[in-house]
Amino acid sequence: MAPPAKIAVGSLVWVEDPDVSWIDGEVLEVNGEEIKISCTNEKTVVANASSVYPKDAEAPSCGVDDMTKLAYLHEPGVLQNLCSRYEMNEIYTYTGGILIAVNPFRRLPHLYDNHMMEKYKGIALGELSPHPFAVADSSYRQMINEGISQSILVSGESGAGKTESTKMLMRYLAFMGGRAATEGRSVEQKVLESNPVLEAFGNAKTVRNNNSSRFGKFVELQFDSRGRISGAAIRTYLLERSRVCQVSDPERNYHCFYLLCAAPPEVVDRYKLGNPRTFHYLNQSNCYDLDGVDDSKEYMVTRSAMDVVGISNDEQEAIFRVVAAVLHLGNIEFVKGKETDSSEPKDDKSWFHLRTAAELFMCDATALEDSLCKRVIVTRDETITKSLDPDSAALSRDALAKIVYSLLFDWIVNKINSSIGQDADSKFLIGVLDIYGFESFKINRCLTGMPFVFIILESRGLVLAVNCMVTMCV
Ligand SMILES: Nc1ncnc2c1ncn2[C@@H]1O[C@H](COP(=O)(O)OP(=O)(O)O)[C@@H](O)[C@H]1O
Ligand SMILES: [Mg+2]
């Protein structure tokens, strides 16, 4: 990177602009810290010297494919480069070993077909256009050649394209390390097939993304000594539990709630469900339907995806029973009880939902009521039962809903893992971490208007990915 050039009259600079983030212009006057600039949008602005960045007059108009080649690696320079490439349909750009992906918001199938995978096979990073296949290929080759496990970290704000990028990385790794399944499905097929199940229970509509994963996912592909995929494990982190009982407009709760409400009538009757608008956990937001998504079809799709990953029919019933019970739980309201600072279900409607939740959980209704309206404190000498006021009872109701839902999610992940199969003797592995983080909407939106993802190849093994995750949680 070149040292910052001195700004003088006639210099070309970038200055912040409320409409387009950064606008370029020419310096007209320099008065100490105050700089007067004639911008290319024909406005003249006065800015402080510290908020003005030099513009590289020789930067190619079509951008550079590796931003380490830029004369100035500052924010307007980087964004300008990504923008020029994006306008030419080049959504991928390197910064050294890091791949930056800008979300194209439209299908680009020619970028990801088999021909492309063949093209990137064995080619060094940087020799061909930037691409997730190049990152995946590089990690695969380093693993084979150096015998060291690898990890790839995919991060960015919601809707930036992390999950899509992760799928591309996985597809390439399956292409390199896959083998024709001798019996039944191959490991990599099973990993890809588990996506719809995880998405039904762990994805939701957010402001930015109709199908946003609300959990971090680390997929570990295990390889044998010949570089063939021999097992895999999916580890999930930080499921957004608060969404189960709190949804802000125009977002949605987890998909599974809506698709269960749209299931065939006999299923809806069995779980005493109905219109999602009648459930407190769903009606805090006005959004129920997603463009182009038919929840009743999604129910069927999810059921068959569950068949595919080896979740039995009885287990599927049990899963949906818990999902329905959580919805009923949310509809239990509390009022003051007879004793001071105590509470009880508000009315017949609340009692109906409490009894239904207990039936579905297969537990005793009175025990469930007690667990919501009372707190048991165990001391060294005795056990004290304390009544809770209505607000506290509503909080314990929500706490129960959250913990049950997140345990259900963990159970599903474990089930998928045992169906995929682990290789205890694997020689090495490649981990791909898809995790949300660093959501800083105000700044990100006004700076770019184009969400992007960082794909980072780490050759120092898995520890680093885990460390990164911990940093993100903090
Ligand atoms: N490379 C891509 N090609 C086509 N569409 C994409 C691509 N990346 C993202 N998208 C679109 O953006 C949406 C959000 O991407 P997703 O990967 O789910 O975001 P994230 O996981 O970062 O929240 C996807 O559903 C898809 O429509
Ligand atoms: Mg995602």
Q: Which tens digit of pLDDT belongs to each residue from 342-363?
A: 999 999 999 999 999 999 999 9
Residue 281 CA, ligand 1 centroid: distance in Å: 27
DSSP state of 340: T
Q: What is the pLDDT of residue 183?
A: 59
Q: What is the pLDDT of residue 437?
A: 54
To the nearest whole percent, how much of the chain has pLDDT over 70? 89
Residue 467: pLDDT over 70: no
Ligand lying nearest the CA atom of residue 108: 1
Q: What is the pLDDT of residue 20?
A: 84
Most confident residue range from 82-86, 223-227, 292-296, 450-454: 292-296
Residue 436: pLDDT over 80: no
Do 430 and 173 touch, CB atoms closer than 8 A?
Answer: yes
Q: What is the mean pLDDT of residues 436-455?
A: 47
Ligand lying nearest the CA atom of residue 132: 1
For residue 161, give the ligand 1 atom closest to its CA. Answer: 17
147 burial via Cβ count (<10 Å: 0-12, 13-18, 19+) = exposed
- Nearest C-alpha to atom 14 of ligand 1 is from which residue? 159
Cα–Cα distance measured from residue 436 to residue 211, given in angstroms and rounded to the nearest whole number: 13
> Considering just the CA atoms, what is the radius of gyration of the chain in Å?
27
248 burial via Cβ count (<10 Å: 0-12, 13-18, 19+) = exposed
Q: What is the pLDDT of residue 98?
A: 87
Residue 461: pLDDT over 80: no
Q: What is the mean pLDDT of residues 257-283?
A: 98
Report residue 370: phi and psi, to 5°: -60, -40
For residue 167, give the ligand 1 atom closest to its CA. Answer: 17
> 164, 215, 219: which to mutate for ligand 1, most atoms within 8 A of CB?
164
Q: What is the mean pLDDT of residues 51-74?
A: 93
Sign of the torsion formed by the C-alpha atoms of 438, 443, 449 and 450: negative
Cα–Cα distance measured from residue 37 to residue 132, given in angstroms and rounded to the nearest whole number: 40
Closest CA relative to residue 111, chosen from 141, 133, 85, 87: 133
For residue 101, give the ligand 1 atom closest to its CA. Answer: 1
- For residue 438, what pLDDT band results from cuts at 50, 70 and 90? very low
Q: What is the pLDDT of residue 455?
A: 65
The helix/strand/coil state of 95 is strand
Choice among 110-124, 337-351, 375-389, 457-471 with the minimum mean pLDDT: 457-471
Q: What is the pLDDT of residue 153?
A: 87
Cα–Cα distance measured from residue 460 to residue 453, given in angstroms and rounded to the nearest whole number: 21
Do 365 and 372 touch, CB atoms closer than 8 A?
Answer: no
Residue 444: pLDDT over 80: no
